Amino acid sequence: MTKKLKGLGAMVAVAGVILTFVRDGQTQSSDQRLSSFDAAAAQVTSLEENSHFRRDTLFGAARNAVSLADRWSSIRPLLEQSLNDSNSSTGVVSSEVQHTFKTSSKPISAVSIGASRYSGFTQSETSTAWCGASVVVGFNDTGSEIKTMLGAGGVSVLGYSNSINHGTSFSYAGAPTATVDPNQGMMGEPSLACVDSATFYYASIWVDNVQSRGGVAIEKSVDGGKTFSAPLVAIEKPPFSHFVDHDWLAIDHATPTNFYITYVDVDYSGSTCGSDQFAQPIPRYAIELVSSTDSGSNWSSVPKVIEEECANQANPNVSLAGPQVAVGPNGEVYVAYEAMGENGGSLTAREIRLANSVDHGMTFAPPVTVASVAITGNGADLQGLVRANEFPAISIGIGKANSGVVYLTWSNAGFTVPDAVSTIGSYGFSDVMFSASTNGGASWSKPLRVNNNSEGGNVPLSDQYKPSIGADKTGRIAICFYDRRRDPNNFMTDRYCAASTNGGASWSNTEITPVNFSTLVGQDVLVSPDYAGDYDTVTIDYTGESAGFIDSYSSNVAGNPNVLTNRY
């Protein structure tokens, strides 16, 4: 690599650099192919010494990239051996193992375990699109990562499965089309949407590791999600100074050529926030949005800034994270996200916010605070050291009685107890919350607890976390989430779905998983030790043919993370 890696761009490049040199030049020795990543890992380690660096504000691809750098000395020998094995092989990289345990849900992912027993078996962080008979589920997939490391083109940290029978059964397809350029990669954070039963779109974080550019790219399928085209870049940030994370794609189904992608931009360029007294750039956290009026072929060149904050001396704990975008029946655009540590607040000062646009994303009103948030777990991890957050999930009502109503769900600590080991001195037991707005997000109903398990007194406390939401044509609302109520020790996890038929005034709860499972983190060397995905999705049939929901999530019942679906 001829250019020195620096700034947050280096963190984006970390995953990409290793992938390029694992793949490039099969005649090279493994040491030659990994030597440039040695320098990249050292640069990331140096970045962590920057006084402004904060691991707790990183999610998804960035968090996994930093984890790789931190553990590079132990991971490198494993990858070196895998490379040496691949150079001497006859072309068979790995075998596919399909887990077929019985459950009320459908297993849809296969697992590659041939390259290393320490990696390649994690599928999680799901996004689902459903149009008519066709359903596509995308997810982060380290098995795809290993396979595309040894392929001819770019790298993909993504997998997907598709169904042609309304989600009754799925076919695991592996990675969507990776970039043609071997120096580029699709680095995770899947977000899917569809227009009709043939036309699907798959958005993801994208990087160019030679120039350390980062952004979001989108792939298209015209055969119901069986295959995808090469990715087209939707947003690209300048090299070495930006990191783009947590992309989210939405389509305006009233005008299906209008597309929107929101994301977080962590900006270390100093162009907006300047530098500190040591000449170190002060990070800028921004929620931004780009749009397309021609079905994703071309995108707005100047992003709309929903909110931006400088993590300067007056606001050392500030960050913005977890955006999702949704479109109303008349083309209204809504962006929901979490704001943290604003106005000089502490790490525990958090809010759920929403901004809206009534002119197809051209301008946005100032964001409105939906609710204050009591942080879950220790603010970064739940019990068992599994990554968690309070990020909102958004859905728009489409039923006759609820058309245009905006629905939000998020995690919030219902009970907070002292904890001497916690980094903040307490532990927040997570609940799932719900609120609705009938006036375009201007005002919101009082947040309501969705999970109906008893807590407090002599009843053990438990976590319910990472909710996702959908609203179908009958007016029914569904919220699905992970739930530990059946384990008095608060480790084992189930999947629950809640339903409301009265606009969210009351909720039933249904257990989806017949047996609970361990969260099982820290098993795959290619991801962060606490990684379990930052989100999942509940989707509806956007053609309007069918009522109901398809919930996708990650289960460890088989002993390793696999993606499942449930028709609810």
Q: Which domains does the chain have, with CATH numbers?
A: 380-568 (2.120.10.10)
Under DSSP, the state recorded for 104 is S
Token pair of 275, please? 């530098």
Token pair of 58, please? 């990183």
Could you read off the pLDDT of 550-560 as tens digits, one per residue? 999 999 998 88
Task: Name the band, by pLDDT with cuts 50, 70 and 90, for residue 81.
Answer: low
How many whole angstroms separate alpha carbon 568 and alpha carbon 565?
Answer: 9
| Selected residue with higher pLDDT from 342 and 54 | 342
* pLDDT of 367 strictly over 80: yes
* pLDDT of 53 strictly over 90: no
Could you read off the pLDDT of 166-197 as tens digits, one per residue? 999 999 999 998 888 877 889 899 999 999 99
* pLDDT of 345 strictly over 70: yes
* One-letter identity of residue 346: S
Distances (CA, A) of 31 to 44, 147, 353, 517: 20, 20, 48, 40
Under DSSP, the state recorded for 6 is -
According to the model, what pLDDT value does residue 525 have?
A: 84
According to the model, what pLDDT value does residue 117 have?
A: 79
Give the closest residue to 251 by CA, choosing from 187, 200, 214.
Answer: 200
According to the model, what pLDDT value does residue 472 have?
A: 96
Token pair of 39, please? 């320098």
According to the model, what pLDDT value does residue 83 have?
A: 58
**Residue 124 near residue 533, CB atoms below 8 Å:** yes
In the numeric block, the tokens 């029914």 are attached to 476
* pLDDT of 1 strictly over 80: no
How many whole angstroms separate alpha carbon 134 and alpha carbon 161?
Answer: 11
**CA angle in degrees (0–180, nearest 5) for 217-221-223:** 175
SS3 label, residue 146: helix
According to the model, what pLDDT value does residue 498 have?
A: 98
Task: Name the band, by pLDDT with cuts 50, 70 and 90, for residue 238.
Answer: confident
Angle between helices 72-87 and 30-48 (to 10 degrees): 160
Could you read off the pLDDT of 107-129 as tens digits, one per residue? 777 665 556 778 889 999 999 99
Angle between helices 30-48 and 7-23 (to 10 degrees): 170
Task: Name the band, by pLDDT with cuts 50, 70 and 90, for residue 10.
Answer: very low
**Residue 47 near residue 53, CB atoms below 8 Å:** yes
Q: Percentage of the chain with pLDDT > 70?
A: 82
Q: What are the DSSP calls for 303-341, one per residue?
A: -EEEEEEE--TT-TT-EEEEEEEEE-TTS-EEEEEEEES
* pLDDT of 20 strictly over 60: no
SS3 label, residue 545: coil
How many whole angstroms separate alpha carbon 119 and alpha carbon 71?
Answer: 13
Task: Name the band, by pLDDT with cuts 50, 70 and 90, for residue 316.
Answer: very high
| Selected residue with higher pLDDT from 261 and 184 | 261
Q: Percentage of the chain with pLDDT > 90?
A: 64
Residue 523 burial (10 A CB sphere; 0-12, 13-18, 19+): middle
Residues 6+ away with beta carbon under 8 Å from 129: 135, 136, 192, 193, 194, 200, 201, 225, 539, 542
According to the model, what pLDDT value does residue 34 have?
A: 53
Task: Count CA atoms within 13 Å of residue 16 on its CB side.
Answer: 31
How many whole angstroms separate alpha carbon 370 and alpha carbon 390?
Answer: 13
Average of per-residue pLDDT across 440-448: 97
Could you read off the pLDDT of 499-526 as tens digits, one per residue? 999 999 999 999 999 999 998 898 988 8
